[in-house]
């Protein structure tokens, strides 16, 4: 092979590598379009624009803060401690790698993919806390999780040199733990301090269902999230001259991810349909639960086994949602159940079904013990810091909006626009045990 041909192949490999991650970033933007539609539909008509603005601001603030802080932490903390390694120095915002540099075709697209992972944690939390959180308090919390807590978890358990991989053989290829579980437990910490929406529970503790103002839009939003998930999972695969590898560097194929993603989607929808008795919101959320349920081990599962695991993930989420209601926790979109609960389930299934399977070269094999330790670490990292920060915001009055504003609707107080200028009324119903308690016309 002549030097000219070798140079041409090297250039083509670099271009393909760049384009691969460029497309993963583009597809991941559909996740945020989906969360936007999903949460707008799940809110009541008096809060739709405030909901949309929170999503947009979360995306913007996390991307910016991840540039200045998050990417450095990922590269500085795989050992469990902050270390100023060469990789960490290259991730500092003033490094030559963090800007236009024709000699570096990797840093920007790698940072971009991780920035969109980070923004996903904010979107997960934003749906849980709809209709009663202050924008300022929410942005403080979402930047904290999006640029600090989840990326520390990723450095520990998702990085190819992370201590959880090196010491425990931890396996979480599709980020069910470091993204979904940490964000889900972070949302739980916030919800405990935030409290339920007015009217969500009767004085005796009976749960009252506050219906979405546009359930079809919520379902469409989830379909966009499903589409964007292919970009998310592309970003969990390393593409280079040697072919495809997992985030840990072990060989894989996109076929493995395709089998697991689609079988997870199918199994999750069917499982949630059966246990929710056909309730539309839980049914389509089951598709997301099914994919997350397989995410930790989707490089290794057989599609038939993956379908069964996803069936269980979808079947679980209505029950987790009911359990949270018993503790008067008001999670508008089921984020704690779908992301937090099924994140735990995903890591646990890897320990049960893939225990003993060889991990990357030189590292311990996958084990149930390693996965359980990972669950404890991610639960603590997701819940404790976010609970404490939201408690502090509550103490200084920056967490929850005033009662009068909540009753009137956030759009009137926070947004200089109106979602329905023609004045078409939208009926909002609150029900319990199948009986309509409140019928409200929001104009």
Q: What is the pLDDT of residue 106?
A: 83
pLDDT tens for 242-272 read: 788 999 988 999 999 999 999 999 999 999 9
pLDDT exceeds 90 at position 354: yes
Q: Where are the domains of the chain?
A: 10-404
Region 384-406: what's the mean pLDDT?
97
Q: What angle do CA 291, 326, 286 make, to 5 degrees?
A: 15
The greatest distance separating any two alpha carbons of the chain, rounded to the nearest whole angstrom, comes to: 80
Average pLDDT, the chain: 91
> Which pairing describes strands 435-442 and 426-432: parallel, antiparallel, or unpaired?
antiparallel
Q: What is the pLDDT of residue 439?
A: 42
Q: What is the pLDDT of residue 105?
A: 79
Query: For residues 75 and 259, what is the distance between their CA atoms, to the nearest angstrom?
Result: 31
pLDDT exceeds 50 at position 327: yes
pLDDT tens for 59-108 read: 999 999 999 999 999 999 999 999 999 999 999 999 999 999 877 878 89
| Range in 148-152, 330-334, 387-391, 423-427 with the lowest mean pLDDT | 423-427
Q: Which residues contact 255 (CB under 8 A, 6 or more apart)?
A: none
Query: For residues 336 and 289, what is the distance between their CA atoms, to the nearest angstrom?
Result: 11
| Range in 5-9, 22-26, 254-258 with the lowest mean pLDDT | 5-9
Cα separations in angstroms, 251 against 99, 254, 351, 360: 30, 10, 20, 9
CATH superfamily of this structure's domain 10-404: Ammonium transporter AmtB like domains (1.10.3430.10)
Query: For residues 115 and 150, what is the distance between their CA atoms, to the nearest angstrom?
Result: 11
* N-term to C-term CA, the chain: 72
pLDDT exceeds 70 at position 318: yes
pLDDT band at 438; cut points 50, 70, 90:
very low
Q: What is the pLDDT of residue 436?
A: 43
Region 298-317: what's the mean pLDDT?
98
Run of H or E including 436: strand 435-442
- CB-based burial of residue 440 (10 Å sphere; 0-12 exposed, 13-18 middle, 19+ buried)? middle
pLDDT exceeds 60 at position 442: no
pLDDT greater at residue 20 or residue 386: 386
pLDDT tens for 116-146 read: 999 999 999 999 999 999 999 999 999 999 9
Q: What is the pLDDT of residue 10?
A: 64
Q: What is the pLDDT of residue 441?
A: 43
Q: Which residues contact 424 (CB under 8 A, 6 or more apart)?
A: 443
pLDDT band at 434; cut points 50, 70, 90:
very low
Q: What count of other Cβ atoms lies within 10 Å of the Cβ of residue 131? A: 22
pLDDT band at 5; cut points 50, 70, 90:
low
Q: Which residues contact 259 (CB under 8 A, 6 or more apart)?
A: 301, 303, 306
Region 299-316: what's the mean pLDDT?
98
């Amino acid at each position: 092979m002549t030097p000219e041909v070798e140079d041409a192949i090297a250039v083509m490999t670099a271009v393909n590598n760049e384009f691969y991650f460029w497309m993963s970033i583009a597809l991941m933007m559909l996740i945020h379009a989906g969360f936007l539609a999903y949460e707008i539909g799940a809110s009541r008509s008096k809060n739709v624009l405030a909901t949309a603005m929170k999503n947009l601001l979360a995306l913007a603030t996390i991307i910016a803060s991840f540039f200045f802080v998050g990417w450095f932490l990922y590269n500085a903390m795989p050992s469990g401690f902050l270390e100023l390694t060469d990789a960490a120095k290259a991730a500092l915002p003033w490094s030559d790698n963090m800007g236009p540099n024709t000699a570096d075709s990797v840093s920007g697209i790698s940072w971009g993919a991780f920035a969109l992972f980070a923004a996903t944690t904010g979107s997960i939390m934003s749906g849980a806390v709809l209709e009663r959180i202050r924008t300022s308090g929410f942005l403080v919390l979402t930047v904290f999780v999006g640029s600090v807590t989840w990326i520390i978890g990723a450095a520990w358990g998702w990085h190819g040199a992370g201590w959880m991989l090196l010491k425990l053989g931890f396996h979480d290829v599709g980020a069910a733990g470091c993204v979904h579980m940490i964000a889900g437990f972070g949302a739980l910490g916030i919800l405990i301090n935030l409290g339920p929406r007015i009217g969500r529970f009767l004085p005796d503790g009976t749960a009252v269902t506050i219906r979405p103002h546009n359930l079809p839009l919520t379902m469409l939003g989830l379909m966009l999230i499903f589409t964007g998930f292919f970009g998310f999972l592309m970003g969990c695969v390393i593409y280079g001259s040697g072919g495809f590898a997992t985030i840990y560097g072990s060989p894989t194929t996109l076929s493995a991810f395709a089998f697991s993603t689609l079988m997870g989607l199918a199994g999750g929808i069917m499982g949630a349909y059966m246990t929710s008795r056909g309730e539309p919101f839980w049914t389509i959320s089951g598709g997301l639960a099914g994919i997350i349920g397989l995410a930790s081990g989707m490089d290794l599962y057989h599609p038939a086994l993956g379908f069964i695991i996803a069936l269980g993930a979808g079947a679980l989420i209505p029950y987790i949602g009911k359990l949270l209601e018993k503790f008067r926790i008001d999670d508008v979109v089921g984020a704690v159940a779908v992301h937090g609960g099924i994140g735990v389930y995903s890591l646990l299934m890897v320990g049960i079904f893939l225990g003993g399977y060889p991990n990357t070269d030189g590292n311990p094999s996958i084990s149930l013990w390693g996965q359980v330790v990972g669950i404890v670490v991610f639960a603590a990292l997701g819940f404790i810091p976010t609970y404490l920060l939201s408690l502090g915001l509550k103490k200084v009055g920056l967490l929850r909006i005033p009662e009068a504003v909540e009753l009137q609707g956030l759009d009137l107080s926070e947004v200089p626009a109106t979602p329905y200028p023609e004045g078409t009324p939208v009926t909002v119903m609150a029900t319990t045990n199948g009986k309509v308690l409140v019928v409200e016309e929001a104009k």
